[in-house]
Amino acid sequence: MSARGRSGRGGVLSSVLGKQPIGTAFVTPYVVFLAVIFAYPLGFAVYMSFHDYFFTAPGAIVERPWVGFANYAAVLSDPAVRRSFVNVGIFLLINVPLTVVLSLVLAYALNAAIRWRTFFRVSYYVPYVAASVAVVGVWLFLFNSDGLVNRLLGPLAPDPSWLVNSALAMPTVAFYVTWKQLGFFILLYLAALQNVSKDLYEAASMDGAGRLKSFWNVTVPGVRPATTLVVLLATVTGANLFTEPYLLTGGGGPDGASASPVLIMYQKGIEQGNPDIGSAIGVLLVIGVLLLALAERRFVGREDR
């Protein structure tokens, strides 16, 4: 009886707290953080997107009626919004592959025992941690119509110039973001490269593989988990593009050629006081990014069998 009683009480506690109650205690703050910082705002955004909603002072009496999909209809019928989704698609098409390829190649190079290795690693990382406002000034200097790039190109310089050219504005932003974020992604690959066993390179070498072949057959598969992470992170951060079009191309110019969905959200939701419209754009963006991430997961993240 006594033994059974003790066992029973322990059983009850175990079933509530699991086998690792301390672990549960440690993870609770982060769960709360996620709920408050991510889940609640997302839920609230979904709520706003189905209502005629605007922010008011406490105590102001206003109606916020349910409007079904009216906000979504308004958003999808707005050519500026549709253009912004196309723009961010163009951006991702350029930025994500370029990020993966360049960061892997550079990480591989920086992983070798080369002279000035630390200097080069720091050099690639600095743009990532530098304030965008300051770095943008440098790029404006480079890509202006009488900037350094056009001087070097001479007659090959585009007219209109890069940042005011409808066809070139978004690609230019994409190249800028790729360059700026390279340092972070190189870090991820450098970490992954530490886990690729040297034995594999030696085995490949014994089988007659050269540097290129061993890179393709040993290095690339070896860092596949990191590649999955890089692709997903680049996609998510790219889809949330805002600072660069806002600063580089004068608020998404020329004529909305580099406006991103988040930039339009900012304009409509915050500047113009229509958070319901902004939320509808945001929800569509979340859905789009999730679908894209699923596709990428399937394509890039598949396990070798």
Size of the site for another protein (CB under 8 A): 52
Closest to another protein by CB, 228 vs 240, is 240
Distances (CA, A) of 6 to 10, 20, 54, 201, 298: 6, 19, 58, 57, 49
CB 178, min distance to another protein, A: 17
Closest to another protein by CB, 204 vs 262, is 262
x/- letters, 228..267, toward another protein (CB under 8 A) = ---------x--x-xx----xxxxxxxxx-----x--xxx
Rounded CA-CA distance 262/246 in Å is 10
Rounded CA-CA distance 66/183 in Å is 46
CB 271, min distance to another protein, A: 6
Q: Is 166 in the site for another protein (CB under 8 A)?
A: yes
Q: Is 183 in the site for another protein (CB under 8 A)?
A: no
Rounded CA-CA distance 209/202 in Å is 10
Closest to another protein by CB, 48 vs 90, is 48
Q: Which stretch binds another protein (CB under 8 A): 22-30, 53-61, 171-179, 187-195?
A: 53-61
Instruction: Identify the residue among 89, 145, 196, 284 touching another protein (CB under 8 A).
Output: 145
Rounded CA-CA distance 223/234 in Å is 16
Tokens at residue 301, please? 């993240």
Q: Is 160 in the site for another protein (CB under 8 A)?
A: yes
Residue 257 makes CB contacts below 8 A (sequence gap 6+) with: 83, 87, 166, 167, 169, 170, 249
Report the site for another protein in 69-88 (rule: CB under 8 A).
Answer: 80
CB 153, min distance to another protein, A: 16
Q: Cα angle at 25 between 21 and 26, to 5 degrees?
A: 120
x/- letters, 14..43, toward another protein (CB under 8 A) = ----------------------xxx-xx--
CB 51, min distance to another protein, A: 11
Rounded CA-CA distance 45/156 in Å is 47
Rounded CA-CA distance 144/148 in Å is 8
Q: Is 281 in the site for another protein (CB under 8 A)?
A: no
Which residue has 């723009």 as its token pair? 87
Q: Is 217 in the site for another protein (CB under 8 A)?
A: no
Report the site for another protein in 120-139 (rule: CB under 8 A).
Answer: 137
Neighbours of 218 (CB within 10 A): 20
End-to-end Cα separation, the chain, in angstroms: 54
Q: Cα angle at 277 between 276 and 282, to 5 degrees?
A: 95
CB 68, min distance to another protein, A: 17
Whether residue 158 has a cis bond before it, omega within 30° of 0: no
Closest to another protein by CB, 178 vs 249, is 249
- Number of helices (H) and strands (E), helices first, in the chain? 16, 0
Closest to another protein by CB, 183 vs 261, is 261
Closest to another protein by CB, 132 vs 214, is 132
SS in 3 state form for 229-251? HHHHHHHHHHHCCCHHHHHHCCC
The site for another protein (CB under 8 A) is made up of 36-38, 40-41, 44-45, 54-62, 80, 137, 140-141, 144-146, 160-161, 163-164, 166, 237, 240, 242-243, 248-256, 262, 265-268, 270-275
